[in-house]
Amino acid sequence: MKKLRVGVIYGGRSGEHEVSLASAAAVFQNLDPERYEPIAIRIEKDGRWALPAEPPKMMKAADTIADSRGARLPAGEADTREAHLVAHPGGDTLLTIDPSTRSEELSARSGQVAATVSGLTLDVVFPVLHGPYGEDGTVQGLLELANVPYVGAGVLASSVGMDKAAMKLVFAAKGLPMCDYEVVLKRDWQRDERAIMNAVVNKLGFPVFVKPANLGSSVGISKAKHATELRTAINLAAEFDRKIVVEAAVPQAREIECAVLGNDDPEASVPGEIIPGREFYDYEAKYLDDTSRTVIPATLTERQTEEIRRLAIAAFRAIDCAGMARVDFLLAGDSGVLYLNELNTIPGFTTISMYSKMWEASGLSYPKLVDKLIALALERHAEKQQLRTSM
């Protein structure tokens, strides 16, 4: 059987670059070499695409973050060739440029160096990109133009899934339960802080959580218990996005998550619970300390479990998602009321990430999960090829 050539795109221009390296390392480690020919495609922080000599190998986000803070490129990942996606159907998927290859004839004639350009065809692409410029529909749009099958959500679902403010509007239209929130534009905040503060406090009170609308991995998120903290939190979030979401805190909140897998007939995993080692599950708690823990399956009643799985699928369908998503909930400890928090179209994908662990607890191993996601990508692409593009 011919091996499928799988292009795994990772890295990216977002603040979640290092987390992406760890997710990609796990994917490479679990792609069956009898079935797949993996191709590593790394997007650098400045946006350049390259084919590294070797794929990433560190499967712990803490290790890749430590390397980044030490200004070291992970071993074996020195760039060798540039990569450029061909944004039209047919022919090669990527053009690769090897600047180290010299043309003796041109060099002798003009003193210039000519790079060797070659083509590379991919059967399917697995984007393992977290955050803006990768999880938000931008790369998905490129892949649509190229007419290449790819794992995960399409352009619309990726965009809505990245933008927490837009996501909440869609969830509200479907009648899904959410906590109260307010959206603040950076421009309005800079024009009149006092008016924004008054509007937020009058509607939501304290405490609140403040988030950039278009980031993940808890980057730029703060909890504010009074006006001074709120001002600081909004200023921090505004450093990452022009749009800020402020949410009313859920009393004694339990953080429950559920993994969804599929296209038009999605399935939900058993739910899991995050028990943060800090006041809430921030970036440091997720990746840099080991005081947080997970409980899978979460300790819930049968009725709560079924409701979480039902709502996870409803949220998945609401934004027209495909492939995979992790859906996050907040369960009020005092009242037992369940709130839908957000949906992630490319969740953390290491072997110890909640998404893969919840499926493992549901009977689907990590290698089989990767197989299923690639099959779903090919299935969805084949369906789209049947659509008419002209009258």
- Is 350 in the same domain as 220? no
- Is 15 in the same domain as 139? yes
- Is 315 in the same domain as 380? yes
Provide the pLDDT confidence category of residue 15 given band limits of 50, 70 and 90.
confident
Are the C-beta atoms of residues 309 and 245 closer than 8 Å to each other? no
- Is 171 in the same domain as 307? yes
Q: What are the structure tokens assigned to 221, written together?
A: 């998120």
Residue with tokens 């970036």: 283
- Would the pLDDT of 65 be above 80? no
Considering the domain boundaries, does residue 155 fall inside one?
no
Average pLDDT of the segment spanning 64-88: 62
- Is 265 in the same domain as 342? yes
- Would the pLDDT of 255 be above 80? yes
Considering the domain boundaries, does residue 390 fall inside one?
no
What pLDDT does 100 receive? Answer: 62
What pLDDT does 69 receive? Answer: 46
Considering the domain boundaries, does residue 11 fall inside one?
yes
What pLDDT does 168 receive? Answer: 97
Could you tell me the residue range of the domain that residue 130 belongs to?
4-150
- Is 303 in the same domain as 204? no
Q: What are the structure tokens assigned to 292, written together?
A: 């947080």
Tell me the one-letter amino acid at 275: I
Look up the CATH number of the domain holding residue 102: 3.40.50.20
CA distance 107 to 303: 73
Strands 124-128 and 4-11, how do they pair? parallel
Are the C-beta atoms of residues 288 and 65 closer than 8 Å to each other? yes
Are the C-beta atoms of residues 310 and 339 closer than 8 Å to each other? no
- Would the pLDDT of 76 be above 50? no
Considering the domain boundaries, does residue 391 fall inside one?
no
Distances (CA, A) of 185 to 241, 257, 299, 307, 339: 9, 29, 38, 34, 24
- Would the pLDDT of 287 be above 80? no
Segments in 212-365 forming alpha helices (H): 227-238, 283-287, 302-318, 354-361
What pLDDT does 46 receive? Answer: 92
Percent of the chain scoring above 70 in pLDDT = 86
Q: What is the mean pLDDT of the chain?
A: 89
Look up the CATH number of the domain holding residue 189: 3.30.1490.20
Provide the pLDDT confidence category of residue 215 given band limits of 50, 70 and 90.
confident
- Is 278 in the same domain as 360? yes
Q: What are the structure tokens assigned to 389, written together?
A: 């593009």
Q: What are the structure tokens assigned to 301, written together?
A: 């009643």
Considering the domain boundaries, does residue 278 fall inside one?
yes
- Is 167 in the same domain as 294? yes
Domain end call among 248, 282, 303:
248
Provide the pLDDT confidence category of residue 276 given band limits of 50, 70 and 90.
confident
How many domains are contained in the chain? 3
Average pLDDT of the segment spanning 364-377: 98
